[in-house]
Amino acid sequence: MARRVSPSELQRIARELERKQRQAIDKYNQEVRRYNENVRRAVDSYNREARAHNDRVRANRQRLQSALVSLTRQPIVTRYVAFRASVQTLNSAYLSLERRAEAHLGPSYNHVLDLSEREAANSVDVANTLLGSPPDVEVSSDGLEDAQLTDELRRISEDLDDRCRGAIFALNPRNPDAVSHFCTSAREIMTQILETIAPDGVVIAAMPDCVRTDQGKPTRRAKVRFFLHRKGMLEATLEEFVEQDMQNIVDLFGIFNDGTHGSAGTFDMQMLSVIRKRVEDGIFFLSRLID
């Protein structure tokens, strides 16, 4: 038997239904506003990052192009012929990477491309400085860059951080072997990074057919291929650029370890700063690739 409802009870029920309906509508509208706000923030964040990336690209490209023009005007100096050729090879590798990125690589490569362009520009700055034409803008490592590099190295190994601090401490114009000491320590740091992140046994287990040295160990390039694959960025042009970037730094080390450069103490702070930036940024670039 149906329950009889009084007019007042009916009105109460109707008001309750209206209240719940308003609550549901309000809740829906709040969710819509929240969703729209999140979309707006995401779009704003993306646009800010895109503008920042584009600004960096323009600045880096202008710097690189200006440095390359300056390099073409430099005289041929016998002791720097090999390094100059290495710089040109590295920049050719960068141009190939840039063309590949514009056609086929997505936004996930943007950070690596930013760092790659910086590496290419740094290499030209070093060549120009060695030939007597330092960059127009004073080059120095600021506290932020030092902190970033320290964080990256400490994340891999405390010993790497200690070695880097020691190398920087040795890079003083009053030290007659400043550059030699710095480059020797930096080379050990790069070697240790590769050995720590890509041990021979792990690389061989993952890539049994990898290219090996005469001693049966994976080559440096094989290790580069290993960690690019692990990072999901195994791209031939990037692999080639990383290999040439590391080779360029090694070639720079060779200038100060072959006994033909004279007294390293004759370099002023401008020269030391350019060398330091080239090497430190190269180590940072390598550490970001293996992250």
* pLDDT > 80? residue 110: yes
Question: pTM of the full predicted structure?
Answer: 0.72
Percentage of the chain lying above the pLDDT 90 cut: 23
Share of the chain above pLDDT 70, in %: 83
pLDDT of residue 259: 43
Q: Which positions ≥6 away from 56 have C-beta within 8 Å?
A: 114
- Between 84-88, 142-146, 238-242, the lowest mean confidence (pLDDT) is in 142-146
Q: Is the model's pLDDT at 119 over the cut of 90? A: yes
Query: Which of 161 and 190 is assigned the larger pLDDT?
Result: 190
pLDDT of residue 162: 80
Whole-angstrom distance, CA of residue 168 vs CA of residue 171:
5
**What was the pLDDT predicted at 157?**
77
The whole-chain average pLDDT of the chain stands at 80
Band (pLDDT 50/70/90 cuts) for residue 16 is confident
The predicted-structure confidence for 197-228, as pLDDT tens digits, reads as follows 889 999 999 999 999 999 999 999 999 999 88
- The per-residue pLDDT for range 64-103, each reduced to its tens digit, is 888 888 888 888 888 888 999 999 999 999 999 988 888 8
Task: Look up residue 158 and give its two tokens.
Answer: 């405390």
Q: Examine the pLDDT at 142 and tell me if it is beyond 60.
A: no
Is a pLDDT exceeding 90 seen at residue 136? no
What residues contact residue 96 under an 8 Å CB cut-off, 6+ apart? 237, 240, 241
Does residue 47 have a pLDDT over 70? Answer: no
Is residue 264 over pLDDT 50?
no
* Region of residue 286 (left: phi > 0; alpha: psi -120 to 50; beta: else): alpha
